[in-house]
Chains A and B, each alone.
Chain A
Amino acid sequence: MSVLVYTESENGKFKKNAFEVASYAYEVAQLLGTTVTAISFNASNNEILGDYGVAKVLNVSNDTLKTFNAKAYAHAITEAAEKEGAKVVIVSSSTDTKYLAPIVSAKLKAGYVPNVVTAPESASPFTVKRTAFSNKGFAHTEISTDIKIVGVSNNAFGIHEHKTTAAVETFSPTITDADFTTKSVEVDKVVGKATIADAEVVVSGGRGLKGPENWGMIEELADVLGAATACSKPVSDLGWRPHGEHVGQTGKPVASNLYIAIGISGAIQHLAGVSSSKVKVVINTDPEAPFFKAADYGIVGDAFEVVPKLIEKLKEFKAQNA
């Protein structure tokens, strides 16, 4: 019996969320009096997981799994869980993981709870706290099956070091052609830029910016802060920004440390997507904009005057604190 954690990597390197889910898995293992086994795919620096409490790594080294494939990855994770006799499987909440986790859940007949924000509240019954109603509420949910799958919300638990030595083993699950009936043809991804999913800071623009030609200052502000850019729904509906940047109840959730909303009114559907962000800053001309009720800091002012000044001041600040 161990705790199995799926640690995501890209081009051989672990993603930041791999360390967060490993930290979470360590906490669960402590609670259950057992150890953590990780499963990774084609990762080159597996030992590093030892820093976050992982005792053993099953590394799947397989060229057919160089690019993500939900069914094949789910198959491998299921096999690893069975081999390890894992009672709890920990996963992240990335888009890829939310794709594969239900498949694992069906294969293992295991209850799966996504969007979990704290370590288990009790081991028996196994109860976790998760967000529900598009972040307008929380549920305390019991998983009643023998094997349990927990999807940890981004940035909710944080990364914690627990130095151990990770023993790395090669793991060869029985992947067959039947796992590849869905094939990736092309991946179109912005490289070298923070994505909304992993970014610690997100700079978001709304209809108040008047048009796509004004996004230069949003991107510049994001650059200074090493942030991802995002937008409200009408902005992507109007085609000013790609759909993938739309944040909210029907768009992407944001769980960053800092969310800067510029020219966004703060409609309930938008707020639903950003309420897990820790600190929210709002810049809006309208002092009655609902976003001010949800924000930590606010400036009542014109984005076209405030944002360029903010960029200048932040550059000075960065230069002094570099």
Chain B
Amino acid sequence: MKILVCISNVPDTTSKINFTDNSTKFDTNGVQFVINPNDEFGLTRAMWFKEKQGATVHVATVGGANTEPTIRKALAIGADEAIRVNAEPTDGFFVAQQLAEVVKNGGYDLVIAGRESIDYNGGMVPGIMATILDMNFINTCVNLEIDGDKVTAIREIDGGKETLSTSLPLVIGGQKGLVEESDLRIPNMRGIMMARQKKLNVVEPIDANAKTIDEKFEKPAPKGAVKLVSADNIDELINLLHNEAKVI
């Protein structure tokens, strides 16, 4: 089985978000970039397939040279090869088109992407990619079992879970649940050394257009101070929720 894991290079989850250039750009100053958490669960599941069932695992990202430390980390975790499409990831549609091209050229059976990236939260890359490629697609995937080309997957739904059956070739939008949090791997020294020898192929983008443009960004308005109520005065809390906030 040949697996491609799509990796988005995103600000670390604790990053403070700021904008520059008259609020038209995300301010990367002092921001640490990491593998998108949803992708990290997928990468770990891919490593499980590699170790338990035998699979080749490639990782791909769409981004400039600045994203290489992030994909090197995926190599250090155990992916065999990496592909970087040398383009600014302008919108989800554009990224999906570029990754679909990588999938076409690489002949992958399984493509694992994250449900969404935690920066622009588009959540559209796996679905658009699957549709362009006419591959089966399961979103918000929290469990994935593969036997030959038969697939059993569980996806999260509002208020529960749904079990699905399908077949390879398949694209999933994965998330927490695909593997246990405790199984996520931190690259060790040996992995980091080995990653240096692994192939990181840089390919040029295909001709594709973004379909949306972020014109301007803005931060939420600052919040007023919290109103504290004494633990002995629950009536006051109820009164505030009823008369002031009007939510009960």
Chain A interface residues toward B at CB < 8 A: 70-71, 94-96, 98-103, 105-107, 109-115, 127, 131-145, 181-190, 193, 195-198, 200-201, 225, 237, 243-244, 246, 249-251, 257-258, 268-269, 272, 275, 278-279, 281-282, 292-302, 305-306, 309-310, 313-314, 317, 321
Contact = CB atoms under 8 A, between A and B. Distances in A.
Contacts of B128: 102-103, 105-106
B2 interface: no
A317 B241 CA distance: 11
Q: DSSP majority for the B interface?
A: mixed
Interface in B203-248: 210-220, 223-224, 226-231, 234-235, 237-238, 240-242, 245, 247-248
A231 B89 CA distance: 33
A94 B17 CA distance: 26
Contacts of B61: none
B79 to A, nearest CB: 21
A309 B200 CA distance: 60
Given A95-B140, A237-B181, A275-B220, A141 B237 contact: no
B215 A141 contact: yes
10 contacts: A95-B158, A96-B157, A105-B211, A112-B92, A133-B119, A142-B212, A189-B161, A201-B247, A250-B38, A296-B245
Contacts of A314: 238, 248
Contact of A99 (B91, B132, B139, B224): B139
Which are the 7 A-B pairs with shortest beta-carbon distances? A102-B127, A111-B211, A301-B231, A189-B160, A106-B131, A195-B159, A102-B124
Nearest to A121: B215
A137 B213 contact: no
Interface in B88-127: 91-93, 96, 118-127
B175 interface: yes
Contacts of B175: 250
Contacts of A193: 159
B37 interface: yes
Contacts of A300: 228, 231
Given A103-B131, A188-B161, A309-B234, A142 B219 contact: no
B194 interface: no
B121 A132 contact: yes
Contact of B212 (A144, A246, A317): A144
A114 B237 contact: no
Contacts of B155: 99
Given A133-B17, A268-B14, A317-B238, A296 B226 contact: yes
B245 to A, nearest CB: 5
B7 to A, nearest CB: 16
A7 B106 CA distance: 39
Interface string B148-181: 0000100111111111111100000001110001
Contacts of B139: 70, 95, 98-99
Contacts of B227: 296-298
B158 to A, nearest CB: 4
Given A140-B215, A140-B218, A295 B237 contact: no
Contact of B217 (A138, A182, A198): A138
B86 interface: no
Contacts of A143: 211-212
B241 A258 contact: yes
Nearest to A305: B231
Contacts of B132: 106
B213 A298 contact: no
Given A182-B164, A249-B13, A299-B229, 16 more contacts: A95-B139, A98-B123, A105-B93, A139-B215, A139-B216, A139-B218, A140-B214, A140-B215, A142-B215, A182-B165, A182-B166, A198-B158, A278-B245, A305-B231, A306-B231, A310-B234
